[in-house]
Amino acid sequence: MILRIALRSLSAHPIRSLVLACGFGLGVGVMATLLGVGEVILDQARSPAVVGGGDVVITSVTGQVASARWILSSALRPSTLREPQGRPKSSRATTRSGRRIVAASPSRRATLYLVRKGATLPIRVRAGIPSLERAIGDPETASIDSWVDEDSDRAWSSPDPGDALRALDRFHPIPDVPNRAESWAEWLYFNGRAGGNRFYLTFLVGPRRGAGKRAAIVRLQLDRAGQRSDYSETQLVDEAQILRDAPSLTIGSSRVRLEGLRYEIALNLQGVTGTLFIDATPARALPPLTIRGAGGWLSGYVVPVMSGALAGTLQVDGQAVSFDGGAGYHDHNWGFWKDVSWRWGQVQHDDLSLVYGRIYPPADAADADRIPGFLAVLGPEGPVGSASNISIEETNDPATGRPRRIVVTGRSSSLDLTMELAIEDTVVTNTGGTGGTGGTGSTGGTGGVLFGAGLDFLQMRATYRVRGTVGGRAIDFTTVGSAETFRGQ
C-alpha cells in the first residue's frame, strides 16, 4: 500500500518528488559528515600529540586526576613500567613506535585572563614539569633552554612516596556549611589481624567545640580469639595543629605517626598499651574520592593502605597480644555524617586486596539510588580491576534482624566477581547518643549528632567466598575479612 502511494505521488508530481528526495538525501549526507567530523575532532582532542607529546593520555571521569603526585610515585613510576623478566614479547608495555615507556608527566589546563585598558582577553594555558615534558617528547619545551625545573617542580619530577602518602592522607578544613557543621567528622581507621587476634582502631576528629578546638576520640576494639573488649579516650584537640600535622595525630595519651611509608601507632588507653606498625606499599592504595550533594553536603574516602605488613604487640591486662607477621588495612574518611549510612567490606588473599562500598546520603542531599557503589581489586603492582556496577544484597537472620549473609556482585570490562559473605560475628554500637563523644564503632563516634538517632552500627567478621575473574585472571578463594553496615534500632 505504501509503495503504491509513493508511485502514484511520483507519477503525479515528479518534480516535487525529485526535489524532496534530493533534500532528504542532502540532509542525511550532511548529518553523516557532521558525525564523522565530530568523531575526528573528539579523537584529536584526546590525542597525546595535541596534549603535548607522549603516547598515552590518562584522565579522570571528572577531568582532573585526584592525587596525581601519589599516582606518579606509585603506579606510574618508571620502575613499575619496566618489563618483568620472562614476560612474552607480545605483552610488553611499549609505545606506538616500539620504544619503552620511560616517563610520565602531569599537566594541567586552565583559563587565564589578560586585562588591559578595560578589555579582558581569555587565554587557554597548559602547565607542566619541564624535565618531564621533554622526556615525553613535548616539542614546545624542547627548544626553550630557560624552561627548567624549579624546587617546587622536583616534588613532581622525583616524588618521594612518603611525602606523597602524607599528602594523600591529609585532613581537610571544615567547609563553610553552617547547617551541617555539627555533623562534620574526619577519621583515620585501621584494622588488622594476626592468627586469632584482630583489632579495629579509629582516631576521629569531630566538630568544633569552642574557638580553635575540635572534639576527638581514639577507640580500640580488640578481639582475642573471640574475647572482645573496647577501650577509648576523648579529648579536645587544637584544630590548626590537626590540619597542619595529620595524619600524625595525638589524642589523649595515644598517637599516630607516619614516618616514610610506615604508620607507627602508640596506644596508651586504660587497660591496654603498646605499639603497632603498618607498612604502606605505594602501589596498594586507592586515590581519594569525594561525593557531593545538595546544600553543601559531601563525603570523602581514600585508602592509603589496602594491604600492609603488620607488626607490634599490645599489653592487655598484663597479657601480651602479638600482631607480628599479620596484615593491616588503613582508610580515611571525611564529610558530613548526619543521617548517613553505608555498606562496606574489605578482604585480602595472597597478592590480592579487595574492597567494596556504597554510601547512602541524607535525603536532602542526594538520591541514594543515583549514588554508585564500587568494587576495587589491587595486586602487587597496583589496580587490577574495578567496577561501579555492583549490587550488595544483605539477608537478615529472622531471630536477630542482623545480617547473616551478604552477596556482593560486580561487573565491568576488567572484572566479573561474586563475593559471598557468611557472617560469623557482629559488634553492635548504638549511634543514638546526644553528641559530644561516645562510641560509634569504627568511626570512633560522636553519637547521634553525626549519624542521627535510630541506627545501630554493625561491624562484622565474615568468611568471604570470592569467585570470578579480574584482569583476565580466574580467582576462587575462601578467607576471613571485615564488613560494616547499619540497621534500625
For position 336, what pLDDT does the model report? 95
Averaged pLDDT of the chain: 81
Prediction pTM value: 0.76
The phi-psi region of residue 204 (left if phi > 0; otherwise alpha if psi is between -120 and 50; otherwise beta) is: beta
The average pLDDT across 136-153 equals: 77
Q: Exposed e or buried b for every residue in 296-309, given b needs 16+ CB within 10 A?
A: ebbbebbbbbbbbb
Q: What single-letter amino acid sits at 70?
A: W
pLDDT at 339 over 70: yes
Tell me which residue of 199, 204, 227 sits closest to 215, measured CA to CA: 204
The average pLDDT across 138-167 equals: 80
pLDDT digit string, tens, across residues 267-288: 999 999 999 999 998 778 888 8
Cα–Cα distances (Å) from 369 to 358, 373, 452, 466, in that order, read 10, 10, 20, 26
The average pLDDT across 444-462 equals: 65
Among 21-30, 152-161, 305-314, 429-438, top mean pLDDT goes to 305-314
pLDDT band at 136 (very low <50, low <70, confident <90, very high): confident
Would you say the C-alpha torsion 240, 241, 244, 246 has a positive or negative sign?
A: negative
Higher pLDDT among residues 225 and 441, named by residue: 225
Within 10 angstroms of residue 256's Cβ, the number of other Cβ atoms is 25
CA end-to-end span of the chain, whole Å?
Answer: 69
pLDDT band at 436 (very low <50, low <70, confident <90, very high): very low
For position 317, what pLDDT does the model report? 84
For position 96, what pLDDT does the model report? 38
Q: What is the DSSP string of 240-282?
A: HHHHHHTTSEEETTEEEEEETTEEEEEEEETTEEEEEEEE--T
For position 354, what pLDDT does the model report? 94
Peptide bond into 159 cis (omega under 30): no
pLDDT digit string, tens, across residues 84-107: 443 333 333 344 344 455 677 777
The average pLDDT across 466-481 equals: 94
Higher pLDDT among residues 6 and 271, named by residue: 271
Cα–Cα distances (Å) from 326 to 82, 199, 268, 323, in that order, read 30, 11, 21, 6
Among 192-201, 225-234, 245-254, top mean pLDDT goes to 245-254
For position 148, what pLDDT does the model report? 80
For position 445, what pLDDT does the model report? 40
For position 82, what pLDDT does the model report? 47
For position 51, what pLDDT does the model report? 56
Chain mean position to CA 62:
14
pLDDT at 80 over 60: no
Within 10 angstroms of residue 342's Cβ, the number of other Cβ atoms is 18
Cα–Cα distances (Å) from 14 to 22, 108, 110, 306, in that order, read 12, 60, 57, 74
For position 138, what pLDDT does the model report? 77
Within 10 angstroms of residue 73's Cβ, the number of other Cβ atoms is 24
The percentage of residues in the chain with a pLDDT greater than 90, rounded to a whole number, is 45
Going from N- to C-terminal start, the domains of the chain cover: 68-78+101-159, 165-488
Q: Contacts by 90-94 with C-beta closer than 8 Å and gap 24+?
A: none
For position 101, what pLDDT does the model report? 55
Higher pLDDT among residues 75 and 223, named by residue: 223
